[in-house]
Amino acid sequence: MQLLLAKLAVLATSILPFCVYSLTVTGAQCIDPVVRKEWRKLSVSEKADWISAVKCLSNLPHDDALSPTVKPSDIVAVNTSGSYYDDIVYMHMDLNHVIHFTGLFFPWHRWYVHSFESALKSKCGFAGASPYWNWSIDAPEFQGSSFFKDSDPESGLGGWGDPSRDFEVPTGGFSNFHLSYPSSHILRRNFTLRPYLNDNSSFFPNPQLMANVTFTKAEVRKMVDGFKGDYKGLQKYMEGFQGAHGSVHEISGGDLAGYCPANAPASCVDGSPTFSANEPLFFMHHAMVDKVWFDWQHKHSSNFWAYEGGSVQAFDNLTEYNTYPNGAPPALTFASPMPADGMFPQATIQDVVNTTGGFLCYVYE
């Protein structure tokens, strides 16, 4: 069904006026889109190939092409002794304040996962498609999910971190996975069921909330089936301060939640989303976020090209946030370029709205 929808989407774009849709990065056509699968649907060898390619990126040297554009004061400087994988992480750190709670959230992260996959292919010989992590499967028993129980050193994601070793992941393919930001450390995970307990502002109406209730199968259905033609509403629900996107980060703790390692610099703030891309699960998590957008796009014809959002974060107060949950003016448009920090070919928002439009060429199973 998704392949049929993809082919119909390609046909639809071919008859839309040029002013509505045009490819600025490449004129290539998408004839045979690859299918992104849920992690548990991959074979053992496919899992091992993805893990091996990710580790390959972490063994490649820093790329001097990395050119931070935002340079926020709350992150450390580029570590030129870090890896190429660290460079990709640093992009997310540098651009944090322009890619969250703005109109760039969905399109930029779609582009980011695609760019990560492209690096796996071009630099490390990866031949597969980016997997996604359907966390709604794990919501009922997140800590005890089989997702975190595969300790195979080649094909397993490993489990929860060891509290006696600063929550370093001790098993699986990413045990001993070295990271550079915010300081040199090993990949960390720390299950945190109620991550909002200390968030007493009006943006967190339920500090006692168990994070897993926000990303159940019912919640995914609510997002995909609802918000007809309402792109801003969908993003607000997904990216809200206690929404599914952030809750998956926070319940996983460690690097995915941006919790500072023991040797972090004094400026490191627990819960910062800046270095959450340290965790390889980040890319599977955001592939699932992308899948929700993808499924929503294909749910109703009025959804597919629906887009709006501003370029400036607006949450100085709750009233401002409720008015501009995905960014205040200046408004972003399909023609708006997305920042790439010199690492990958730049694209516009328009380039990534359609996952089978030519620049992108994939669907979800």
pLDDT in tens, 221-266: 999 999 999 999 999 999 999 999 999 999 999 999 999 999 999 9
Residue 29 lies in a domain: no
Whether pLDDT at 15 is above 70: no
Which among 30, 1, 26, 38 has a CA at the least distance from the CA of 13? Answer: 30
Collapse the DSSP code of 38 into the 3-class scheme (helix H, G, I; strand E, B; otherwise coil) and give the result: strand
Task: Work out whether strand 34-36 and strand 185-186 pair parallel, antiparallel, or are unpaired.
Answer: unpaired
Mean pLDDT of 177-183: 97
Q: Let me know the angle formed at the C-alpha of 160 by 135 and 118, rounded to the nearest 5 degrees.
A: 55
How far apart (Å, rounded) are the C-alpha atoms in residues 57 and 59? 5
Task: Work out whether strand 337-338 and strand 362-364 pair parallel, antiparallel, or are unpaired.
Answer: unpaired
Mean pLDDT of 289-315: 98
Residue 322 half-sphere exposure toward CB, CA atoms < 13 A: 5
Question: 61 — phi, psi (to 5°)?
Answer: -75, 165
Percent of the chain having pLDDT more than 90? 88
pLDDT in tens, 152-173: 999 999 999 999 999 999 999 9
Tell me the residue range of the domain where 290 lies: 34-364
140: preceding bond cis by omega (within 30 degrees): no
For the whole prediction, is pTM greater than 0.95? no
Percent of the chain having pLDDT more than 70? 93
Both ends of the chain: CA-CA distance in Å?
9
Q: Which pLDDT value is given to residue 27?
A: 57
Residue 5 lies in a domain: no
- The count of domains in the chain is 1
Q: In whole numbers, what is the pLDDT of the chain averaged over residues?
A: 92
For residue 323, the domain's CATH number is 1.10.1280.10
Residue 21 lies in a domain: no
pLDDT in tens, 31-60: 999 999 999 999 999 999 999 999 999 999
Contact partners, residue 144, CB within 8 Å, separation at least 6: none
**Contact (CB, 8 A) for 9 and 304:** yes
Residue 23 lies in a domain: no
The enclosing H or E element of 364 equals strand 362-364
Which of the pair, 176 or 23, is modelled with greater confidence? 176
How far apart (Å, rounded) are the C-alpha atoms in residues 295 and 303? 10
Contact partners, residue 302, CB within 8 Å, separation at least 6: 228, 229
pLDDT band at 271 (very low <50, low <70, confident <90, very high): confident
Show the tokens assigned to 315: 């949450």
Mean pLDDT of 268-279: 90
Mean pLDDT of 281-296: 98
Residue 25 lies in a domain: no
Residue 16 lies in a domain: no
Whether pLDDT at 116 is above 60: yes
DSSP track, 219-259: HHHHHHHSSTT-HHHHHHHHHSTTSHHHHHHHHH-TTTTTP
**Contact (CB, 8 A) for 246 and 282:** no
Least confident interval from 70-74, 140-144, 306-310: 70-74
How far apart (Å, rounded) are the C-alpha atoms in residues 192 and 61? 33
Total residue count of the chain as it appears in this document: 365
Residue 174 lies in a domain: yes
Residue 326 lies in a domain: yes
Whether pLDDT at 30 is above 60: yes
pLDDT band at 272 (very low <50, low <70, confident <90, very high): confident
